[in-house]
Amino acid sequence: MGKKGTETRVRILEATQELVETAGYAGAGLNQVIAASGAPRGSLYFHFPDGKDQLIGESIRRAGQAIDAAVEELAASGASAAEFVEGVLRLLGDRLEESGWRKGCPVATVALEMAAASEPLQQACSDVYASWEAALRRRLGGRPDADDLAVTILALIEGALLLAKAHRSREPLDRVSGRLAALLS
């Protein structure tokens, strides 16, 4: 694929990711993606021949990788486990607030809407969550409860993001951050 083709594909994925994060699966219709990306309809079908689920799945994985990169950067800072989790919550809270409370978790909306109906989307969501759990486990080091704790932390973060979005307030994130700091100390 040439440079122009790659750029078009990236533009389509960026537009899809934005639509999915702000409006969910239903809000990321192919016509909306074409309008938001400025890509020709034929390019959409060329780059994503398996249709909307392929497009949404790839955009979810792409969003997951972006969060992964930010989390890995925090992990490399040498912060304690409590400081690391606080940093993750701050990062996600900043992202949510800066988006006007529209961008919570880039995976949760699709997981809630489509995981039971679409095997490819369920797998994409599962893969991203598994990646995040693994990053948390690595950061928790040799703790004997690292597996359970990673799932607990991820579930608390997801719930706090949902509540923060619903309330349009960082308070749930701050409260969870405080409880996790106490748990990890």
Give per-residue pLDDT as tens, 43-87.
999 999 999 999 999 999 999 998 888 888 887 888 888 888 999
| pLDDT score of 13 more than 80 | yes
- Say what the pLDDT of residue 1 is: 63
- Say what the pLDDT of residue 141 is: 79
| Mean pLDDT along residues 22-48 | 93
| pLDDT score of 171 more than 90 | yes
**Alpha carbons 104 and 30: distance in angstroms, whole number:** 22
- In angstroms, the Cα distances linking 91 to 67, 101, 132, 146, 160 are 9, 14, 14, 22, 13
Give per-residue pLDDT as tens, 130-145.
999 998 888 887 889 9
What token pair was written down for 157?
């973060």
State pTM to two decimals: 0.90
Largest CA distance in the chain: 54
Mind listing the domains of the chain with CATH numbers?
A: 3-184 (1.10.357.10)
What token pair was written down for 138?
């690595």
Residue 18: CA atoms inside 13 Å, Cβ hemisphere, count? 13
